[in-house]
Amino acid sequence: MNLPFRGGRTPAMTEQPLRNVEFSPTDALLREDVNMLGALVGEILADQRSPAFFEEVERLRRAAIRRRERNAPVAELAQALEGVPLDHASDLVRAFSTYFQAVNLAERVHRIRRRRDYERQAAAPQPGGLRDVLNGLMKQGVSREELLALLPRLRIEPVFTAHPTEAVRRALLKKEREIVTCLVGDIDRSRTPAERRADRERIRLALTTSWQTAEAPSAQPSVADEFQHVGYYLSEVLYRVLPVFFEVFSDALEETYGAAPVPDLLGFGSWVGGDMDGNPNVGADTITATLAGQRALVLAAYRRDLVALGEVLSQSITRVDVSDELLARIAFYRERMPAAAAKLRPRHADMPYRKLLTFIHERLWATQHEEAEGYADAEEFQSDIALIEDSLRTHRGEHAGGFAVRRLRRRAACFGFHLASLDLRQDSATHDAAIAALLGDAQWSARSVAERTQRLHRLLQGEDAVEGPGNDTSQSTLEVFRAVARLRPRYGERAFGPYIISMSRSAADALSVLALAREAGCIEHAGDGTSQVPLDIAPLFETVDDLDAAAATLRALFADPLYRQHLAARGQRQVVMLGYSDSAKDGGMLASRWALQQTQVALTKLARDSGVRIAFFHGRGGSISRGGGKTERAVIAMPRGSVDGYLRLTEQGEVIHRKYGIRAIALRNLEQATGAVLRATLRPRIAEPREERWRAIASALASDSRAHYRALVHEDAAFPFYFRAATPIDVIERLRIASRPSKRAGGTGVVRPPGIASLRAIPWVFAWAQNRSGLTAWYGVGTALERALQQHGREVLAEMARDWPFFNTLVNDVEMVLAKSDLGIFERYSLLASGVRSEGVDVDDLHARFHPGIAAEFERARAAVFAIKGTDELLADDPRLRQSIRLRNPYVDPISMLQVDLLARWRAQGSEDEALLQSLMATVNGIAAGIQNTG
């Protein structure tokens, strides 16, 4: 019996090895980790189910490998999984998913191993790391003065959203962390045999209990549950990583340019509890609860650090001096806080640092419980920490606790008492509905922009007043602004990020927010007697047409005298959010990317002309078609001058887990993002004379791609019916992984008519990823590239892919999705549409109508990538990704075939069988874990 899980060769890794690929000796350790974990998974399957079950899993795996490696018909694999009993199907999915978990963790730990290899070689820093970037900038002629001038305005802000496509339970996250700890402990094979056996048992325990734990809660997650999920990454991972990032940056800076202070350039944001767009569960109450929860998390983290510092800072006044200021602070607290003073231990009478730490700890406790002795703000807390740091520095304490205190100071400077800035987001239609109700004007949204602007001006200047209390929509909207006014003084000015207006189309959309905020009393009074709304108002341009019109919209807004007053109070800085998801759903990925590129070019010029600094906020999703992919590569591909020392981007779905689930990988991602911003700002690529021609070609590509994409997705009346038959969208809509509906609602709360337009971008992309087609990333691209190759020749497009970062990133991203797609498996899903008739459309077989054209477009896209890159194999220049995909395919394919079979059975029974639905949900989670880049 071949048992690759038990130490034998794994065919998925050894049959037909990758051509022309050389891996380092370190990569062999990845193979060892995968085999060790795979052996444990096999033993667990046999133990938890039965040896026969394990053999069945092996048989299916071998069939999947045979199908891929020997071009066996996919029907063989499909037939082996037809009619599997439901409880058995769920266990099969769980078995393959457990393997994904093992491979995913092994690969993440291997990234840490590779980083350590680079760090051992001082002469060869890891590409994309801060040492590598600073060395490169020095070679390009960046002076110390030029670099230090940029640092104070450098800002990197990842923003975590509540848009999951793979929500891992917190209990399972902790088990993953245990496995990672064991793998890292033996990362260089330095453990003794006894230690290795102990680690293996710890891993077995974590994997077995994971097997026995449901992957997702049985109830729909609430906003509070989503907060707990994102809070884990903020408080358990990034809180720990943050000071290490600054130490790495400081060391790299000293090595290249000499020692210099590194400012507090990192910040984090969150949409959880503040994203009201289409989510009736979010409003003033969740905003209040979320900020309180974030404060509780960060204050608890500070208190843990203070306890650890108390163990370190045991200095006695008889052995070393401390600053007079520190002694004075202790005396002040003794008088002000007698109850806390009574807790001082007599044996600590000669230990001033421990005494002050006790008072600080008590003040944090009082802060959490809203007591009078609490800190007024985070700056007061930071002042106490700074006193300790300064005293240690001036009294020979740099190596006697200074390092640990400095780490706490870095954390306090970043996380404050708010942990992460809470962004607020609402659809412009909701604002229109609220204004209409307050003004008693049922025709408000239909009025021209000029009419609305004129009336809003009168409201803002106090020359007009609302007609009455409005309705539920207006009152709930006003309550949000009242919550901001109430909570901002308590949590600090950084507690709130921008107020984002979804579906922004005119200057009136931003003025509406100002008017609603003022009506709610959300204003801040300045010393000169004026008052302004204390929020950055960020229009979000989402569709291709809205992106194209963004410059005109902003130009009108900047010309508005009342809005310019608001901008002056905000430091002449305008946040603009760019929507990657809806623009791609609207016009296809290529048209979306080009519209985003063009918009950044136009708005960067507008910023220069108007004297306003535009800060771009990139609303990227997890998948390629929603703007996902490598952050470093995306930043370098942005237009010259558009980065300007600032990067704010959303992190969502499985990306959060993949990028921030392990501390060392989170550190690497922060380094890469910061390094890319440094490069793009200090040494953007030089002006390229060929780019004028390239841009003309890209514009034609976008036009051709969009036309082909829209002809299928938006203009064919039968396509929505095919979409619902050939994807598991009906299962995705019932998944319990998010608190918000899968479809958008209008401003009045009425759900828009069913179809593609009303569906949110995430389930749209998720559905096409599940059926293994990846259609949303490449449909339309094949036709456009084929036409461009015919018109301009291979050499021109190859030159563009080689020398133009925008086009290089585009082609590489399309190639990656093509490599992850499987048209053979997709055909099995498409066959589900055979015999499905669309209402009002005379088509007998939707599969016969749509599948041939989709398959032909896939082949056009693949052939175009081959021609442009001069290869006959996808990912020929990225062997590690190719290996990673190849490792997973034999375990994803059986789950896909199970999903097709279960979908057919579920739909045949009217889509009401709850047991079938539960098994289908398990397949959705399993495929998502296997292919990654889902939504």
Most confident residue range from 94-108, 269-283, 624-638 = 269-283
Mean pLDDT across the stretch 493-512?
A: 96
Lowest mean pLDDT among 127-131, 212-216, 771-775, 820-824: 212-216
Tell how far CA 812 is from the center of its chain: 20
Query: Residue 750 — pLDDT band, cuts 50, 70, 90?
Result: very low
Residues 40-98 pLDDT 10s:
999 999 999 999 999 999 999 888 888 888 888 888 888 888 888 888 898 999 999 89
Classify the phi-psi angles of 531: left when phi > 0, otherwise alpha if psi is within -120 to 50, otherwise beta. beta
- The answer to whether 582 touches 761, Cβ cutoff 8 Å, is yes
Query: Residue 101 — pLDDT band, cuts 50, 70, 90?
Result: confident
Of residues 737 and 516, the one with the higher pLDDT is: 516
For residue 839, what pLDDT is reported?
62
Kindly list the catalytic residues.
Answer: 163, 585
Mean pLDDT across the stretch 529-556?
A: 94
For residues 778 and 783, give the distance between their C-alpha atoms in angstroms, rounded to a whole number: 9
Residue 23 has pLDDT above 70, yes or no: no
Mean pLDDT across the stretch 171-194?
A: 91
Spell out the residues 6+ positions from residue 175 whose beta carbon is closer than 8 angstroms to its own: 206, 207, 209, 210, 213
For residue 83, what pLDDT is reported?
86
Residues 689-723 pLDDT 10s:
999 999 999 999 999 999 999 999 999 999 999 99
Taking alpha carbons only, the member of 478, 465, 464, 485 closest to residue 434 is 478
Lowest mean pLDDT among 254-263, 732-741, 852-861: 732-741
Query: Residue 348 — pLDDT band, cuts 50, 70, 90?
Result: confident
Mean pLDDT across the stretch 781-805?
A: 97
The label of the residue with tokens 């999703």 reads 621
579, β-bridge pairs: 619
User: What 3-state DSSP class applies to 98?
Assistant: helix
Residue 16 has pLDDT above 50, yes or no: no
- The answer to whether 91 touches 40, Cβ cutoff 8 Å, is no
Residues 550-591 pLDDT 10s:
999 999 999 999 999 999 999 999 999 999 989 999 999 999
For residue 934, what pLDDT is reported?
59
- Count of all residues that appear for the chain in the document: 935
The first and second tokens of residue 521, run together, are 């009393």
For residues 397 and 47, give the distance between their C-alpha atoms in angstroms, rounded to a whole number: 56
User: What 3-state DSSP class applies to 909?
Assistant: coil
Furthest CA-CA distance within the chain:
94
For residue 558, what pLDDT is reported?
97
Residues 416-431 pLDDT 10s:
999 999 999 999 999 9
For residues 654 and 166, give the distance between their C-alpha atoms in angstroms, rounded to a whole number: 5
Buried b (16+ CB within 10 A) or exposed e, 709-733: bbebbeebebbbbbbbbbbbbbbbe
158, β-bridge pairs: 649
Give the percent of the chain with pLDDT over 70: 93
- Residue ranges in 212-351 assigned as alpha helix (H): 223-232, 239-256, 284-312, 324-336, 338-341
Residues 367-387 pLDDT 10s:
999 999 999 999 999 999 999
Give the percent of the chain with pLDDT over 90: 73
The first and second tokens of residue 520, run together, are 């709610």
Of residues 744 and 407, the one with the higher pLDDT is: 407
- The answer to whether 935 touches 765, Cβ cutoff 8 Å, is yes
Q: How many CA atoms lie within 13 A of 365 on its CB side?
A: 12
Average pLDDT of every residue of the chain: 90
- Residue ranges in 559-637 assigned as alpha helix (H): 561-569, 581-587, 589-610, 631-636
For residue 383, what pLDDT is reported?
97
The first and second tokens of residue 874, run together, are 């996808």
Residues 103-147 pLDDT 10s:
889 999 999 998 888 888 766 889 999 999 999 999 999 999 999
Residue 835 has pLDDT above 80, yes or no: no
Residues 234-265 pLDDT 10s:
999 999 999 999 999 999 999 999 999 999 99
Contacts 24+ apart (CB under 8 A), 483-489: 483/284, 483/287, 483/288, 484/287, 484/424, 484/517, 484/522, 484/534, 484/535, 485/520, 485/521, 485/522, 485/523, 487/287, 487/288, 487/291, 488/534
Of residues 629 and 489, the one with the higher pLDDT is: 489
For residue 7, what pLDDT is reported?
37
Residue 317 has pLDDT above 90, yes or no: yes
Residue 735 has pLDDT above 60, yes or no: yes
